[in-house]
Every structure is written in structure tokens, then in C-alpha cells.
Chains A and B, each alone.
Chain A
């Protein structure tokens, strides 16, 4: 049988409650033991105090039950009110009980001696008070037992004791509620962090580059032409490039990084394939210094940019367009990755206007992935170049080994 969930959650933290209650009373017992051994009859004092500790543990447990049942899941304010009321009731019960059982306590043999101003020595021991007078027999007074006092006096004594105990119970309640609040805050923080991690992972997955289906159609059409005209060598080269490109891009872990060298190889494959579609209109320049080849970046980060350069640059131009991919180290330890397209022989006509439209979506994706991966340490800029053409410029930290390794 599975216990009902309410009971399970209501007293979910009973272990902590029991520990804190026992801890509190153990601390009280320690001070009592220390006090008892300062006196002359420690064992009687100790056995009497242990009864108090026992009652105290039970009553503190009742406060816990009250808090757990009456203010389960409530605000800290409500919990504090419940705890305060429970502490007040319980301390009255404590005071009352102690007064009722006062006479059951063993009488301590400990003596307290006072020198009165009038020259007498007063010796208090348990219920008896002995007044020693130098010339006469000592005067021995026996105080009434609590049970022999009248009702009003007993109630007053009980209330006096209650006031003292009230602060003890309030102290435990405050400690317990503070600990609970802290545990809840930590739990909430952890859940928030978990949620953020999950959201980030989901974002990384969602932003993962999806190979553009048009690219596949266009390539298959080109392949069809090559096969029809009997240029099987070129068809074979293109098929190999296509299969390598797809195998690599589909098998990549979306949340993992690749090295810049791997990313560039992939882009080179992609551009080789596109070169078959635009043999006279596409020219590729790639420049990556050896020192940056091992820098890590999200896989296929450059793909949407290069794809845009083809879609809005090369395919919209009658003239040869140069797509240039360049990596440069920065003095602050970061690097800048640039992808640009421009007319081979210069000139602004038709290219910049064509490259403005539609680039937003792909670049947004790139910038979001950069942000998810590097936070504020990466920046993303794009726009037309002054001499004509269009450039996307990414600045990111150079990390040569990743946490995924």
C-alpha cells in the first residue's frame, strides 16, 4: 500500500524535525548537567531535569505536528502564527504539568546557604528552610508542597514557569521555520536552475541547424544533369561530397562543439557542392590561421550564414561572387569569425540590396546559439560592407577544450 500522498508530503521533513527537537533538548540537557555537577547533589537534579526534557521533547513534537498539519504549504507568516500559538499553548501545558508533578520530583539534598543582613544564616534545602541563630536553636520552617497551595497560587506558579518555557519553544519554532524556509529557498533555486538548464538544452536542440531541404533538391537536380550527360566522374565527386556533408551534419550532437577546423571542412564541402550549381558565379576564399584551428564552437554555426550568402548573394547575382570565410585572433584572447560576400570585381550594384533581405532569420539563429553557448562573451554583427557586399562578423572566446570532453 502506498500511503496517501498528503500524509507523505505533510510530514516529509519529519527526520529534520526529530533531529532538531532532539538537538535542542540535548543542548538544554547539557547545560543542566553542567549546572548539576556544580552543585552537591548532581544525580537528583539530573533525574528531575530528565523528566522535564522528556516532557519537553513530546511537547515540541506537538508544535511540529501543529505546524505540519495546519500550515502545510502556507506562507512563512501563517506558519509563524501557527508556531507562535502552538508554542504558547504548549508552554502553558509545560508549566502546568511541571507544577502538577512538582511533588513527584525527588527532593535534592543540595543546600543553599545565605547570610541574612540581620546576622542569621538561612539554609534552604528542598522544602525546608533552616534559620541558624548564633545563640539559639536553629528555626526550621517547612514550606508547603505545591499540592498544598491554593488553586490561584498554583495557577500563578504554572504561568510563571510557562513564560520561561515559552521562549524555549519559540526559539525552536524560529529555528525550525528558518531552516525550512532556507531549505525551500534552496530547493526553489535548484528547481529554477534545473529548469533553466533544461530550457537551455531545449533551446540548443531547437536552434540546431536543420539542413535546408532546397539544398538537397537542388543538389539532386544537379546530379541528375551530370548523370544524364554522362559526366559520371563529377557526379561521383558530388555524391561523395553530399553524403559526407549529410553524414557529418546529421551525426553531430546538437549540444556538442566542434573544432573550427572541422566546421571549416564542413563548410568547404557545402560550398564545393554549391559550386556545381554556380560554376562561374561562386568563388570561395577561406583563411584560418593554424593557431585557431582547435578553437571550439557550436557545430554548424556558420552554416546559416554561408547558406544566406549563397541564397541572397550568389544566386541573385549575374556576376562572380566571392564568399570569404576568415578567422582572426584578437588581442584580448578572443577571435573574430567573418563570413562575407562581395562581387569579385568590386562594385555595389545588385549585391548589397539583395543580401539585406531575408538574412535576419538565419543570423538571429546564429546569434541565439552563440548566446546560449558563450553568454555575454560572444557578439554578433552583420551588415553591408562599405565597398559593396555583405558581412557577418562573430566575436567569440577561443576555447580549445570543451566541458563535453
Chain B
């Protein structure tokens, strides 16, 4: 990644309003480019495999495979995107650090 290339970001959140909010916030960040939005864990893994984003904004509480499971699965891949967990749930924070 060079100075001129944008940061490619994938958003994964099951709640439409929350995903929308992340997209809007991301649009305000210079040098960041939204490459896709996943609405559950499984599609997040599929999209990450297909799009090779640099960064994944990952919700933890999702139906099916949750954010923690997604991060574990992606960590085994090469290359794996940087993951930023997005959550309102404090109790997940500790589990997130363990991934």
C-alpha cells in the first residue's frame, strides 16, 4: 500500500442502520474507500476472500457466525485484513482482544 492508494475497507454489520452509519462515517475519512458491506458473518468471510480489503470494520453481535468467529477465521488466512471491532457490548471487548 502506497501513499496514493486508498485504504480499502469492508463493513460487516447485521443492522442496516448501523452499517449505514459506518458507511457514512467512512465517507468522511480521507483516503478510505468502502469496498463492500456484509450483513452477517458468513458473507463477511466470503467478501473478505473476494475483495481482499485492508481493513474490516466488524460488528460482534451478528446472526450465524458472529464477529469473533469471523475474526478467528480470517486470522488463519493470508493475507488477512486488519480488523476493528465495532460494538456497544462491553462484555465482548475482552473476547475481542483474545482473538
Residues of A within 8 A of B (CB): 214, 217-218, 221-222, 224-226, 228-229, 276-280, 315-318, 350
The residue that A222 contacts in the complex, of B14, B15, B64, with Cβ under 8 A, is B15
Cβ–Cβ contact A350 & B24, under 8 A: no
Give the Cβ gap from A355 to chain B, nearest Cβ, in Å: 12
Helix, strand, loop or mixed for chain B's interface? loop
Chain A residue numbers with a CB within 8 Å of B89 are 214
The residue that B63 contacts in the complex, of A224, A228, A315, with Cβ under 8 A, is A315
Closest chain A residue to B19, Cβ basis: A225
Cβ–Cβ contact B63 & A318, under 8 A: yes
Interface residue tally for chain B (C-beta within 8 Å): 16
Helix, strand, loop or mixed for chain A's interface? helix
- New A-B pairs, 4, CB < 8 Å, besides A229-B24, A315-B61, A317-B63: A221-B88, A222-B18, A315-B63, A350-B63
Closest chain A residue to B61, Cβ basis: A315
Instruction: Report the bound CA distance from A350 to B17 in whole Å.
Output: 23
The residue that A225 contacts in the complex, of B20, B64, B88, with Cβ under 8 A, is B20
Chain B residue numbers with a CB within 8 Å of A318 are 14, 39-40, 63-64
Chain B residue numbers with a CB within 8 Å of A229 are 20, 24
15 contacts between A and B (CB under 8 A): A214-B89, A218-B88, A221-B88, A225-B17, A228-B20, A276-B17, A277-B15, A278-B15, A315-B61, A316-B63, A317-B63, A318-B39, A318-B40, A318-B63, A318-B64
Q: What is the 8 Å Cβ interface bit string for chain B, positions 66-99, against chain A (1 contact, 0 not)? A: 0000000000000000000000110000000000
Q: What is the 8 Å Cβ interface bit string for chain B, positions 47-71, against chain A (1 contact, 0 not)? A: 0000000000000010110000000
Q: Which 9 interchain pairs have the tightest Cβ spacing? A: A217-B88, A225-B21, A225-B17, A222-B17, A228-B24, A316-B63, A318-B63, A277-B15, A225-B20
Give the Cβ gap from B48 to chain A, nearest Cβ, in Å: 18
Give the Cβ gap from A349 to chain B, nearest Cβ, in Å: 11
Instruction: Report the bound CA distance from A229 to B20 in whole Å.
Output: 9
Instruction: Report the bound CA distance from A214 to B40 in whole Å.
Output: 20
Instruction: Report the bound CA distance from A317 to B61 in whole Å.
Output: 11
Instruction: Report the bound CA distance from A224 to B88 in whole Å.
Output: 14
Cβ–Cβ contact A224 & B21, under 8 A: yes
Q: Given the known A-B contacts A318-B64, A350-B64, are A226 and B88 also in contact in the complex, defined by CB atoms under 8 Å?
A: no
Q: Given the known A-B contacts A214-B88, A214-B89, A318-B40, are A221 and B17 also in contact in the complex, defined by CB atoms under 8 Å?
A: yes
Give the Cβ gap from A274 to chain B, nearest Cβ, in Å: 10
Chain A residue numbers with a CB within 8 Å of B61 are 315
Instruction: Report the bound CA distance from A315 to B18 in whole Å.
Output: 13
Instruction: Report the bound CA distance from A221 to B15 in whole Å.
Output: 10
Instruction: Report the bound CA distance from A221 to B25 in whole Å.
Output: 12
Q: What is the 8 Å Cβ interface bit string for chain B, positions 26-45, against chain A (1 contact, 0 not)? A: 00000000000001100000
Instruction: Report the bound CA distance from A222 to B22 in whole Å.
Output: 11
Instruction: Report the bound CA distance from A206 to B93 in whole Å.
Output: 28
Chain A residue numbers with a CB within 8 Å of B39 are 318
Chain A residue numbers with a CB within 8 Å of B18 are 221-222, 225, 277
